[in-house]
Structure 1
Amino acid sequence: MASERPRVRLDQPRAPRRSLLPRYDAEAFGRVSERIARFLGTWRFIAWMTAVIIVWVVWNVSAPERLRWDNYPFIFLTLMLSLQASYAAPLILLAQNRQADRDRVNLEQDRARNERSIADTEYLTREIAGLRMNLGEVATRDWIRSELQDLVKELTDRDHEVERTTQREA
Structure 2
Amino acid sequence: MARHDGHDGAERWFGQSADSLAPREKRVLELIGLRRPITSELKPPAPQSASFGDRMADRLAEIGGSWGFIVSFVAFLLAWAVINTVILASAAFDPYPYIFLNLVMSMLAAIQAPIIMMSQNRAAARDRREASRDYEVNLKAEIEILGLHDKLDRLRDLEISETKRLLAEIAERLERLERRGGGGEAP
TM-score using structure 2 length: 0.58
Q: Does 1:158 align with 2:166?
A: no
Identify the residue that residue 72 of structure 1 maps to in structure 2: 96
CA distance, structure 1, for counterparts of residue 66 and residue 107 of structure 2 = 19
Query: Displacement of 1:120 after TM fit?
Result: 0.7
Equivalents in 2 of 1:75, 1:64: separation in Å? 16
Q: Compute the displacement of 1:49 (Å).
A: 0.8
CA offsets per residue over residues 70-115 of structure 1, 9 Å max, x none?
A: 2223121111101111111111111110111011101110111122
Distance 1:98 1:124 in 2: 39
**Is 1:47 paired with 2:71?**
yes
Separation in 1, partners of 2:107, 2:50: 23
- Partners of 1:65 and 1:39 in 2: how far apart? 33
In the alignment, the residues of structure 1 paired with residue 91 and residue 103 of structure 2 have an alpha-carbon distance, to the nearest angstrom, of 19
Q: Deviations over 1:32-77 (max 9, x none)?
A: 2222212222222221111111111111123347863222231211
Tell me the distance in 2 between the aligned counterparts of 1:113 and 1:47. 42
Q: State the percentage of identical aligned residues.
A: 29
Runs of 4+ in 1 over 6 A off after TM superposition: none
Larger CA Rg, structure 1 vs 2: 1
| Residue from 144, 148, 155 that aligns with 1:131 | 155
Aligned-residue CA RMSD in angstroms? Answer: 3.1
- 1:110 matched to which residue of 2? 134
Q: List runs of 5+ in structure 2 lacking aligned partners.
A: 1-48
| Structure 2: distance between partners of 1:86 and 1:34 | 17
Structure 1 alignment gaps of length 5 or more? 1-24, 160-170
